[in-house]
Every structure is written in C-alpha cells, then in structure tokens.
C-alpha cells in the first residue's frame, strides 16, 4: 500500500514536470520568435541579445532559419 502511494506521488510529480517542460519550450519559442522579429524590424541586435539572452550569432542564425516574420 505504501509503495502504491509513493508511486502515485511520483506519477503526479512526473506529470507536473512534463507540463512545465511543455510550457518552458513554448516560452522559449516565443522569446526566439519575438527576438528575431525585433531584429528584423530594426532593433539593435546587441540590445535584443541582452534582453533575450540569445547570443547575437544565434539571433542571426535563427533569423536565417525562420525567415522573415510578418509584423503583428
């Protein structure tokens, strides 16, 4: 019985972790998309890099990979 309780608690924790990972990945994608859009619209790449935590070279690569992002 105690083992079943421990496993249930573990399953719940794993479920919360999976949900958090999905949310983190979505937030990371949002930051990358918004950072690229900002650079493409003329924002200073160093300033965007500082705010987003994405290295300038990575921003350039993301911009090339994503192509032009339409304005919102």
Q: Where are the domains of the chain?
A: 31-72
Per-residue CA distances from 5 to 22, 38, 64 (Å): 26, 49, 50
pLDDT in tens, 27-40: 999 999 999 999 99
Q: Tokens for 6, please give them.
A: 């421990």
Q: What is the DSSP letter of 47?
A: H
Q: Cβ-count burial of 54 within 10 angstroms (0-12 exposed, 13-18 middle, 19+ buried)?
A: buried
b/e per residue 14-45 (b: at least 16 CB within 10 A): eeeeeeeeeeeeeeeeeebeebbbbbbeeeeb
pLDDT in tens, 6-25: 899 999 999 999 999 999 99
pTM value is: 0.80
């Amino acid at each position: 019985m105690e083992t079943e309780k421990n496993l249930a608690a573990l399953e719940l924790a794993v479920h919360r972790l999976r949900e958090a990972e999905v949310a983190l990945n979505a937030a990371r994608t949002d930051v990358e998309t918004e950072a690229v859009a900002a650079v493409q619209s003329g924002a200073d790449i160093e300033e965007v890099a500082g705010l987003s935590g994405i290295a300038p070279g990575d921003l350039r690569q993301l911009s090339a990979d994503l192509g032009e992002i339409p304005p919102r």
